[in-house]
Amino acid sequence: MQVRIEPPYLLFLGDEPDPTHAKTALGIAHWRPDASVGQLRLPGCGVDLGYPDMSPAEAAEAGAKTLIWGVAGVGGIIPESWIPMLFEAVEAGLNICAGTHSSLTEIEGLAVAADKAGVSLIDIRNPPADLPVGSGTKRSGLRLMMLGTDCVVGKKFSALAIAKEMRDRDMKATFRATGQTGIMIAGGGIPIDAVVSDFVSGAAEILSPDNDDDHWDVVEGQGSLFHPGYAAVTLGLLHGTQPDGFVICHEAGRNVIEAFPGYKAPTIGELIESAMANGSLTNPDIRCVGISVNTTTLLEEERQLYLNKLSAKYDLPCVDPVAIGVGPLVDHINTLFPGAAP
């Protein structure tokens, strides 16, 4: 599934108070910093990406071509109070690209206004038709999947960082996007959480097809095996990806499932055990290759001690992909899979 999104972008943040749910805009700002000219924030917005604040008309005058829906809230809905700004964007001559579960075309009058203005409405969460049921057939090539202790713990960031580190070392590696932000960054992928459940594992097989024996597909994870709402998509993706290795992604100090009070987040050990048990259905040789942690909740002087303790406890490389990079993790992967090393 390839997606054409015309830059430059205006990143729309609505009135989102929390950076946790602005992950789409944050991801694009980090991985494609030169692709955007400004940000659009409504009163009460608590997120600042560092771009100039612009109205749709100001952004269009500055050269913007597409308004990117930068928020990934629970349920993927389009708040009623944000809809007038979408009409304003269309009237200013901007395409709109969104990864919401609610389709832009379902907003009364928006498609007509877009057609009149000669702009496009791009719904990222629109999976390909005729996806197959998973076959469980082993495919050539190597696969690495990100598995999180919760949502929004760095699965996409870790996958992008690992794929980039591998390519920088002249390894064969491709980032495989499974969510709206990853698709917007990569320009292609499959929105796994919008696929009918019977076809999730088949979609994952399509996403990571046969490849060279020394090629890595680095697969962005979704949800969490321990999530009360999103565990199903994680399990289907795990079965269809058939990962040779997986990376545990975690946020330091996250002990409960975000936005689901009363549900404890699993320990890293519990997630490793569950991933091994469930993943072995389609790849008996599955193994954990490392731990990637978002340590922004820690003081700088605490970070390395925390990572060292985790590494010693689980006998795995433990990194913060932002603060120290993923080099030690890729080193370990090359030790475990020497045939794919450059």
CATH code, domain with 280: 3.40.50.300
Asked if residue 171 and residue 112 are part of one domain, the reply reads: no
Output phi, psi for 185, to 5 deg. Answer: -75, -45
Mean local confidence (pLDDT), 144-149: 98
Threshold 0.85, pTM exceeds: yes
- pLDDT band at residue 1 under the 50/70/90 scheme: low
**Per-residue pLDDT, 5:** 86
In the block, tokens 């910093």 appear at 33
Shared-domain flag, residues 47 and 155: no
Q: For residue 266, is it within any domain?
A: yes
Distance, in Å, from the CA atom of 223 to the CA atom of 147, rounded to the nearest integer, reads 8
Task: State the CATH number of the domain containing residue 83.
Answer: 3.40.50.720
Identify whether residues 116 and 152 lie together within a single domain: no
What's the N-to-C CA distance of the chain in angstroms?
A: 29
Which two tokens mark 108? 């009364």
Q: What are phi and psi of 44, to 5 degrees?
A: 95, -5
* Predicted pLDDT of residue 284: 98
User: Which residue from 300, 292, 303, 296 is spatially nearest to 325, judged by alpha carbons?
Assistant: 292
The values of phi and psi at residue 329, to 5°, are: -70, -45
On whether both 146 and 212 belong to a single domain, the answer is yes
The domain of 215 spans 142-340
Does residue 20 lie in a domain region? yes
One domain for residues 203 and 113? no
- 16 and 80 share a domain? yes
Is the confidence at residue 74, as pLDDT, over 70? Answer: no
**Residue 237 pLDDT level (bands cut at 50, 70, 90):** very high
Question: Are 9 and 35 within 8 A, CB to CB?
Answer: yes
Q: Based on the structure, what is the number of domains in the chain?
A: 2
My answer on whether 81 and 34 are in the same domain is: yes
Instruction: Report whether pLDDT(72) > 90.
Output: no
For residues 7-31, give the mean pLDDT.
91
Structure tokens at 296: 């922004």
Tens-place pLDDT, residues 92-131: 999 999 988 888 999 999 999 999 999 999 998 888 889 9
Same domain membership, residue 207 and residue 116: no
- Report helix, strand or coil for 217: strand
Q: Do 209 and 328 lie in a common domain?
A: yes
Helix, strand or coil, per DSSP, at residue 305: helix
> Phi, psi at residue 189, to the nearest 5°?
145, -170
User: In the prediction, which pLDDT does 325 show?
Assistant: 97
| pLDDT interval class at 200 (50, 70, 90) | very high
Q: Name the residue type at position 193.
A: D
Look at residue 27 and tell me if it is in a domain: yes
